[in-house]
Structure 1
Amino acid sequence: MDAHRSEFGGTPHHLGRVAEVERIAHIAFGQGDIHVSETLRRGADLGQSRLAGARPIGCRLGGAARGQHQGRGQRVKSVTLPTHNNSPLDTQAPQIVAVRERWNARPCTHILRGCSIGPVDWGDLRYVLAVARAGSALRAAQQLGVNQTTVLRRLEALEAALGVPLFERRRSGHKLTPVGERVVRTAECVEREVQDLMSALDAHRRSLSGSIRLTTSESLAARLIAPCLRSFQERHPDVTVELLVADERLDLARGEADVALRASSTPQGAGVVARRLPDAPWTIYCSRAYAAERGMPRSREEIAQYDVIRMEGRMARLEGSRWLAEAAAGAPIRCRSNSLTNLVSNLKAGLGLGALPTIIGDAESDLVRCFPPPPELTSQMWLIVREEIKDHAHVRAFADHVATYIRRIVAEADSARQA
């Protein structure tokens, strides 16, 4: 007691506080033999941690630990603890928690040589839990789908980082040590937190909201987007999709639309990002009634013998339109159209032959292919997103959904045709 009086100024309040701080320092630092001394600096500038009546408290090693680390009473950490109004020290006070976290996050260096705690790989906790629950490394490995050596290596790595054994190795399996039991309790907390986080993220994905302006052609809107929107809105009912159907191309970079589905060559220009979808093969179609009455061509060379329906305007620049114009040079033109949707109607009416993407033509039961798609007659399909919104959660979810849907539809159409 006299030694404490000579160091701290001899007030009973100080002695009581020092005893309590020793207890808290033991909790904070996990050391078995720690003594606390108070430096007599008052009113120090403690930055954001400055408290009324607060004093810097220096922690010193004592006893055997002090002898092991060279030099009696070397300072190893400092923490500011409140002593205002003689209130009891709170083991969960931000100052204590912060010191404990800093202590656990950093190994001792030049002062506490020999007791360094290395960084912990939180992934190793999964292996500790598995072994604790299964009772052996072999059964844990089977449950995790990894090799037994992997489980043992991860356990040894964690034990080396912590500096204590977590399991007793027995012929019958693995039994937790007292420290191992504490690690398992912590690992279970981490597991629950991760599960809660994943549940929260899943709920967030399901509760996306916002609006998206999608532009595409009339034919692609009818064949692909309309059925795709139904399944998307079942998953994300709070996302509104505004469909801008137009054969002219809106400028996404200028904000005229957010997303575009286009059958075209590689998109050019800045301010957009593009995802390539499966190519769309084209071929020549006619109605079943026309084929029954007039027959139908079996190759490119026979097309000129039949009536054709030609495209005009922007539609005339499509791959299929240009291919048909070259193949049907000199053939009678019965109708012209600037819309693929109208072209389908004209074909079903029996007005002649026309070129369509198979993803559109095959969906019409009244139409038949005249011959398989020529290898050279394909067009690229692109899903384009305005760059500045590409990372918005609801936009990304919509783009992923559309791309997945179109790939599935194309694959199913190919499988049905091959069957």
Structure 2
Amino acid sequence: MLIPGCHYRLAFTQSILAFTQVINAATHYRLDYPDLSLILALVRGGSLARAARLLQVDVSTVFRSVRRLEAALGQPLFEKSRSGYLPTSLAQALAEQAERAEQALEAARVGVEQGGEVISGTVRLTCSDSVLQALLLPALARFMPAYPALSLELSTSNDFANLSRRDADIALRLTRTPPEHLVGRNLGNVVYRVCAGATYLRSANADDLASMTWIAPDDFLPDHPTVAWRRQHLPGVVPAYRCNSMLSVTELVRAGLGVAALPDFLIDENKGLMPLGEPLVGYDTALWLLTRPDCRALRSVVTLFDELGRNLRWG
């Protein structure tokens, strides 16, 4: 009888068998888990000494084992260089399979220890770097320790196409109108305020925004609410600094280089950011938690989606 939650491990086992069958057909050598562990240790360590420490054996054992495995497979796995042992494409592919085996084994161990179903697998999540830094990381720290068999692949992007192209399973996006083909949850309103660093304010006139040195998103974010507001209310202002992310804009403001309109979740007076007025009326947006309809059948995605919905907070 399969332990509940083993569908992921079964799929992984099938992929391992398919992969090894290709190798075995050509070499008549049957790869096993210790072989994969050896390759993974040397890929991770990059040298015989570090691989030996990871495997808790001596260096000569690693050297002999690699030579024996290469002879059995009939092709090299590593190339010796001044910087260490460089994996061939075959070794790199086998190391990736070994990592999945490692994750599956850990999921099985957790299942035995907890005596119940374990949420396992890999979920791909995309968000902007500002959302990652200010909102996502604190949320993950609150709940991810409860899911030791769940792996995340994080990427920073502002592009909805990540989900459309199936490059990601979950996205956190700042928008008023999420794409209709995605399903999700509105996590709350986000407002913007003009802010400056304390050091900059000592030499600037806070009542004259047009005379200040402006920092803004570049053409990578042409429709950003703060860009639309500045063009409408300060049409003569030409930003002295342009950045391809709001997190970079925030850091320049914090450094005292000028002013910018920032989202409320990035504004922290304790870290040197001073709001210069009320929120920009009519230029607010919302944080959306989004996924593809087909992902709602995956326990790993649904679990992460629900946890993010409960744990993402600001204000």
Give the TM-score of the pair, scaled to structure 2: 0.60
* SS in structure 2 at match of 1:252: helix
Pair 1:355-2:266 in alignment: no
- Aligned ranges for residues 262-341 of structure 1 at < 5 Å? 262-270=173-181, 272-297=182-207, 302-341=208-247
Distance in 1, matches of 2:305 and 2:262, equals: 25
Using the TM superposition, give the Cα deviation of residue 251 of structure 1 relative to its aligned residue in structure 2, in angstroms: 3.1
Deviations 1:55-80 (A, max 9, x none): xxxxxxxxxxxxxxxxxxxxxxxxxx
1:274 partner amino acid: G
User: What's 1:60 paired with?
Assistant: none
Deviation at 1:373, TM superposition (A): 1.0
Higher-RCO chain (CA-CA 8 Å, sequence separation at least 6): 2
| Whole-angstrom distance in 1 between the partners of 2:159 and 2:183 | 19
Q: Verify the 8 A CA contact 1:309 1:352 in the aligned structure 2.
A: yes
Task: Supply the distance in 2 between the matched residues of 1:203 and 1:268 (Cα, whole angstroms).
Answer: 41
User: Displacement, 1:204?
Assistant: 4.3
**Could you tell me which of 165, 184, 188 is aligned with 1:254?**
165
Question: Does structure 2 conserve the Cα–Cα contact (< 8 Å) formed by 1:248 and 1:314?
Answer: no
Name the residue aligned to 1:16. none
Aligned partner of 1:344 in structure 2 is 250
Mapping for residues 111-190 of structure 1, pairs under 5 Å: none
Classify 1:332/1:245 alpha carbon distance in 2 versus 1 (closer, same or farther; 3 Å): closer
Question: Is the counterpart of residue 385 in structure 1 residue 296 in structure 2?
Answer: no
Corresponding residue SS for 2:162? coil
**Secondary structure, aligned partner of 2:191:** strand
Q: Which residue of 1 aligns with 2:124?
A: 213
Q: Which moved more, 1:209-218 or 1:345-354?
A: 345-354
In structure 2, C-alpha distance between the alignment counterparts of 1:371 and 1:266, rounded to whole Å:
27
Equivalent of residue 234 in structure 1, options 135, 145, 148: 145
Q: Which amino acid aligns with 2:236?
A: G
1:329 CA displacement: 1.8
- TM-score, normalisation: structure 1: 0.45
Give the share of equivalent positions with the same residue, in percent: 24
The residue identity in structure 2 corresponding to 1:285 is: C
CA distance in 1, matches of 2:196, 2:261: 9
Check the 8 A contact 2:192/2:280 in 1, yes or no.
yes
Amino acid at match of 1:347: V
What are the Cα deviations for residues 131-162 of structure 1, in whole angstroms up to 9, with x where unaligned?
A: xxxxxxxxxxxxxxxxxxxxxxxxxxxxxxxx
Contact 1:281 1:373 in 2 (8 A): yes
- Structure 2 partner of 1:135: none
The answer (yes or no) to whether the contact 1:283–1:377 under 8 Å persists in 2 is no
Q: Is 2:129 aligned against 1:223?
A: no
Aligned-pair Cα RMSD in Å = 2.2
Count of matched residue pairs: 203
Inter-partner Cα distance in structure 2 for 1:253 and 1:310 = 28
1:402 is matched with 308
CA distance in 1, matches of 2:303, 2:187: 16
Question: What 5-or-longer segments of structure 1 have no aligned partner?
Answer: 1-201, 414-419
Q: CA deviation at 1:311?
A: 1.8
SS in 2 for 1:317: coil
- Segments of structure 2 that go 5 or more residues without pairing to the other structure are 1-113
Deviation track 1:238-266 (CA, whole Å, cap 9, x = no partner) reads 11011011233333133110000000122
For residue 146 of structure 1, what is the aligned residue in structure 2?
none
In structure 2, distance between residues paired with 1:364 and 1:325: 30
Larger Rg: 1
Per the alignment, in what secondary structure is the counterpart of residue 166 of structure 2?
Answer: coil
Q: 3-state DSSP class of the match of 1:223?
A: helix
Q: 1:320 to 1:332 in 2, by over 3 A?
A: closer
Q: Which residue in the other structure is 2:13 paired with?
A: none
Q: CA deviation at 1:209?
A: 0.9
- Distance in 1, Cα, partners of 2:240 & 2:165: 40
Q: Given that residues 251 and 257 in structure 1 are in contact (C-alpha distance below 8 angstroms), is that contact kept between their aligned partners in structure 2?
A: yes
CA distance in 2, matches of 1:380, 1:204: 37
CA distance 1:383–1:293, shift in 2 (3 Å): same
Matches within 5 A, 1:67-146: none
1:376 aligns with 2:287: no
Deviations 1:90-111 (A, max 9, x none): xxxxxxxxxxxxxxxxxxxxxx
- Distance in 1 between residues matched to 2:186 and 2:162, nearest whole Å: 18
Distance 1:378 1:203, change over 3 A: farther
Distance across 2 between alignment mates of 1:248 and 1:363: 30
Cα distance between partner residues in 1 of 2:115 and 2:219: 47
Tell me the SS of whatever aligns to 1:222.
helix
Equivalent position SS for 2:140? helix
